[in-house]
Structure 1
C-alpha cells in the first residue's frame, strides 16, 4: 500500500465526511491517506481493529467471510460505495481487491470526535487557542488522534481547549523540576524538550525527548505527589498548559475506567484481560495477583513495547495512585486499560 495526499473535494461524495464543516474536513484530510492497492491485495481481515474508516474511491473489492467465503462485491459508483467499508470494530468480514483500486483511509477516532463537535455546533479546531496559529494547530490534531483523548466526552475536551494557557520558554529553560509539587499538565505546541531524572550520587539519567503534540506532567497531578522527573527545553518552545484542578476534572476522571475485583477477575479468568502490577519489584515479590506481570510505574514508558497492545490490561497497586497514572499512560498510547478499584486486595 502506497499512501498519497488527500484532496478535501473528495469528501463531498462520501458519508459522513460530507457532513463535516470545511475546517474539520481540512484537519481530517491532513491525517488521511489515499492507498493504492493491487489486484489480489488484502485490504483488511475479519477480526482486525477498525482504526481507519475506509472508502472505495476507485476499483472493486470482494467482501468475504472469516473463512474466505465470498459474500458480496463493492464497486465504484454504487450507492454502497458512498459509505464506510465494513466499519464495525473488530471487522466482521475481510476485504480483497479484485482489480487495482484506490481506497481512502481516514482516522476513525478523529472522524468520530469531529462529527460529534460539528453536530453540536460547539467546536472548530481553528477557533480554539487561536493565539497559537502562528506555530500551527497540528498539535491539536495529534492530541485528538490519541485514544485517551478520544475517550473523553467532547464537552470536556472543548472545555479543556478553552482553559489551556499559552506558555513560551527559551532553550535550556526548566519547565518542571524533579521534586517540585505538580501544578500543570503540559502539551508541546512547537519545539523540543528533554526528560531527565536525578539519582543520588549519580549523573542525571536521560529518559526521553519530546516534540510537538507530546504531553507531560500528568503523573504528579494524578497521584498528587512530587514531580518524578525534570523537563527542560532543547529549543525555543511553545506550550499550552492546563491547571491541576481542570486536568483532574476534565481529563483524568473521565479516563479512570474502574473495575471491581470480581468483574476484573472474571475478565482475567476467561482470558479477556491480564493483570499488570505497577508496584516496585520488591512489593511484587511479597504479594501479587496470580498471573500478573510486574512493570514498575517508573519503567512503564520505557518498557511499553514489551506489552501486547492487543491485550486488555487491568492495572493495580496498593492505593490506586500509581495504577491511575499507569492507566492514563497506557490509554494515551492506544492500549485498552482499566483500573482495579480499591487496589490490591489484602490477604485474609
Structure 2
C-alpha cells in the first residue's frame, strides 16, 4: 500500500478512535490508490462495505435525488451521513484511502471495550499487579479473535501452570488441546521443515499468547514452543476457548419497533465518537462513547429508565449493552445500527448534518 503518514491518518474519523497499536495493523489490510480524473471512485454498493477517505484531489458525489455534491480532502469518509448516494466521480486526479467498514468497526469495538475495562481496573488500586497483567492481556494477539463481550470470561478461565527451562509446551504436528499466555519467562518458537531442518522463528515473552491457531482452525500445531527459562504460563483449555468464540445473547430491538419504544419514553444512547454523533444521530439521543461508558453510566444514567443503545452497525452498541446489563441497567441495542434504518424512518428519526466543507447544487 502507498505509504501514509500516521499523523495524517490518525486525524480521520472514526480512525482517530483507534489505539496506537491498532491503526498500523488495520492500514495493512487497506488500499490507498491513485485514480485519474473522470473515473468512478466508488458506488453505493461499495459504500455499504467500505469507507473512502479523499486524501488529495476533488470529487463529485452524485445522489439519487439528482443533487450533486463537490468535496475535497476531508477528515470524514466521502458521503458520510448521506443515504441517497449513488456514485462518486473523481473531478481531478485523486488519492484516497479505502478501509473495510466491518474490520474498522471490529477494531474500534475491541479498543473501546479494552478502554472501558482499563477504566474499571483503575478503580481497584489494591490490585495493581493483577490490573497490569490484565491490561497486557487486552493487547495480546488472541483478543481480536474472541468476541469483545467475552473478554471478562477469559480472565476467569485461565489456569496457572509452572514450567521449567527446556520444557516443550507445544510440539509441531500434535493436536491442539489448549492455548497459553506467558506471564513469566521466555520461550523459543521453532519449526521443522520437510527436509528435517529445524528453523528458529522467534522468541516470545511476557503477555504473548500462543497455540490458539490450531484451536480456531481445528488443525495440528504448526510449530514447537520450548521454554528458554523457568516461568509461569496461563493455560486456556480447548473446551473453554471454543465457548469463548461464541457470541453471547444480548437484548436487541429492530428498527421497525424503534418509534414505539421511543414513544414509551425509552432513552437513546449513541456510543460512537462525538464527531460521528455530530454528523448523524437519532433525534434527542445522548452521546456516550463506548470507551467512556463505564465512567459516564454511574453519573448520567438512571437505573429505573429504559435505554436503547446504537452505533452505525450494531457492533459497538452490542458491547455497550453488555456492559450496561452487567451493572443492572435495562438496555437493548438497535439491531444493525443506523445502517439498518430504512429511508422512511431515517427521515422521521434521524438528524443528519453532512460534515463541511461540502458544496451542493442541483444537477442540470
TM class by smaller structure: 0.3 to 0.5
Give the TM-score of the pair, scaled to structure 2.
Answer: 0.41
Give the TM-score of the pair, scaled to structure 1.
Answer: 0.42
Greater Rg, structure 1 or structure 2? 2
